[in-house]
């Protein structure tokens, strides 16, 4: 049965799950969610996910939300990207949780405020504040990646596919990979992974559609 | 061997791990970290945790960071709080990730800005913005808890001990449990769990020490 991923190209959180499905060679298809048209705020969507968020993964009778849970589901099904030892598994989960807490949550919000909210509605003090917090997160990641090709161990894992969620997007939100050499090297490693695709090539929906 | 938890009472993220250790009846002791004196920003602490965050759990040769990872470690050791089926395990992880992403991250930051930052340094536009985002998170949790005693299944789990992390603190940050009847009922269930302790009773360090 083909796995369905409810998603849109603009969502870095959806990208984390889509990339794991794609690189694990699972049979999956994206189902476009009209986030910008308000679909995730409808009662129908809230019935599917009380959190009101994309992505949602449906595999037969199994319905999952939260991209980190989907990544672990892909690992459980395929044995890929989840680490080889108990220590690696915990370390991968550690970086997924850090990403949720400090990196993607704030990057996603800042990118939204700067690019997808009408200019007159932008909270102008919030943006530089969030960018300051994000610089602390980039510093942590860049420091950790010193001398490493991957976040955990010596291969691509869910930790990489979580932390990179928002870092390939072209819209400005205060991240410039050339400022962070270890992050830049690590993103290049991900891009060079056979089968890798940019979020706008992997899922339907992009700002170009609304231009 | 006694497990050591590097923590301070003010940290809701540390509380999540401390509460799991305590209610699982593991032998553990808190080691006070002088966060407000800058200890987590020192090179020595960054050596222990590149993320520069409390809590850190040390159990013999095992050193863990991120409270969700510690909670799962407690579950692996004791069989408690981690769910009984694959579906429950995934659902617990889902709520821990949601909490990291939408609830504790923002509650912790807002409480910090409003209570622990000198008044002249407070970013005044950021606080109401974050409080608005937090109200959306309280709404999600309150809706989910309609007719339920616990977040997942019919017993206390790591999902509950994650989401409650910042909700027992007395310092104002825009959360008033009497406004959210299902959250209020659920917090009472946690408080009535045998062995439950308030964060300031479970870990050293509280604003009273600096008053």
Which ipTM was obtained for this model? 0.95
Q: Are B39 and B27 in contact (CB under 8 A)?
A: no
How is chain A split into domains, by residue range? 3-81+197-210, 86-191
CA distance A49 to B144: 10
Nearest chain B Cα distance for residue A102, angstroms: 8
User: Per-residue pLDDT for B129 more than 80?
Assistant: yes
Per-residue pLDDT tens over the stretch A58-110: 999 999 999 999 999 999 999 999 999 999 999 999 999 999 999 999 999 99
- Which residue on chain B is closest to A65 by alpha carbon? B94
8 Å CB contact of A97 and B64: no
Q: What is the mean pLDDT of residues B140-162?
A: 98
pLDDT of residue B209: 87
pLDDT in tens, B60-100: 999 999 999 999 999 999 999 999 999 999 999 999 999 99
Q: Which of B66, B140, B144 sits opposite A97 (nearest CB)?
A: B66
Cβ within 8 Å, pair A101-B98: no
**Which of A144-158, B42-56, B87-101 shows the lowest mean pLDDT across its residues?**
B42-56
What angle (nearest 5°) sits at the alpha carbon of residue B80, between those of residues B79 and B84?
75
> Between chains, do B94 and A64 touch, taking CB under 8 Å as contact?
yes
Measure B104 CA to nearest chain A CA, in Å. 8
C-alpha–C-alpha distance, residues B126 and B138, integer Å: 18
| CATH class in words for B86-191 | mainly alpha
Q: Which helix (H) or strand (E) holds B32?
A: strand B28-32
Distance, in Å, from the CA atom of B30 to the CA atom of B193, rounded to the nearest integer, reads 21
The predicted-structure confidence for B154-177, as pLDDT tens digits, reads as follows 999 999 999 999 999 999 999 999
Tell me the chain A residues in contact with residue B77 when contact means C-beta distances shorter than 8 Å. Answer: none
> pLDDT at position A211, please?
72
The yes-or-no verdict on residue A1 having pLDDT over 90 is no
Q: Which of B51, B90, B140 sits opposite A64 (nearest CB)?
A: B90
For B56, the closest chain A residue by CA position comes to A94
The span from the CA of B118 to the CA of B37, in Å, is 14
Please judge whether B94 and A123 are an interchain contact, meaning their C-beta atoms are less than 8 angstroms apart. Answer: no
pTM here is: 0.96
- Cβ-based contacts of A129 with chain B (< 8 Å): 123, 126
pLDDT score for B210: 77
Please count the other Cβ atoms lying within 10 Å of the Cβ belonging to residue A163. 27
| CATH number of this structure's domain B3-81+197-210 | 3.40.30.10
| Average pLDDT along chain B | 96
For residues B166-194, average pLDDT: 98
Checking if the pLDDT of B8 tops 90, the result is yes
Under the banding of pLDDT at 50, 70 and 90, the label for residue A164 is very high
Q: Which pLDDT belongs to residue B1?
A: 86
Chain A residues near residue B98 by CB distance under 8 angstroms: 51, 66
Across the interface, whether the CB atoms of B98 and A66 are under 8 A apart is answered yes
Best residue in B43, B48, B57, B66 for a mutation probing chain A (most A CBs within 10 Å):
B66
């Amino acid at each position: 049965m083909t796995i369905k991923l409810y998603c849109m190209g603009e969502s870095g959180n959806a990208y984390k799950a889509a990339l794991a499905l794609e690189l694990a060679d699972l049979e999956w298809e994206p189902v476009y969610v009209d986030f910008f048209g308000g679909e995730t705020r409808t009662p129908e969507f809230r019935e599917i996910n009380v959190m009101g968020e994309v992505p949602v993964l449906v595999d037969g009778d199994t319905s999952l939300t939260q991209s980190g849970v989907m990544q672990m589901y892909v690992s459980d099904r395929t044995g890929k990207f989840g680490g080889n030892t108990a220590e690696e598994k915990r370390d991968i989960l550690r970086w997924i949780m850090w990403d949720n807490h400090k990196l993607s949550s704030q990057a996603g919000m800042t990118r939204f405020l700067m690019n997808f909210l009408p200019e007159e509605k932008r909270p102008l003090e919030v943006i530089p504040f969030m960018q300051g917090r994000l610089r602390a997160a980039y510093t942590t990641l860049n420091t950790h990646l010193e001398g490493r090709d991957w976040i955990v161990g010596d291969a691509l894992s869910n930790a990489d596919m979580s932390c990179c969620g928002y870092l390939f997007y072209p819209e400005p939100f205060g991240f410039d990979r050339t400022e962070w050499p270890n992050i830049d090297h690590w993103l290049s490693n991900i891009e060079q992974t056979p089968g890798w695709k940019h979020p706008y090539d992997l899922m339907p929906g992009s700002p170009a559609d609304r231009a």
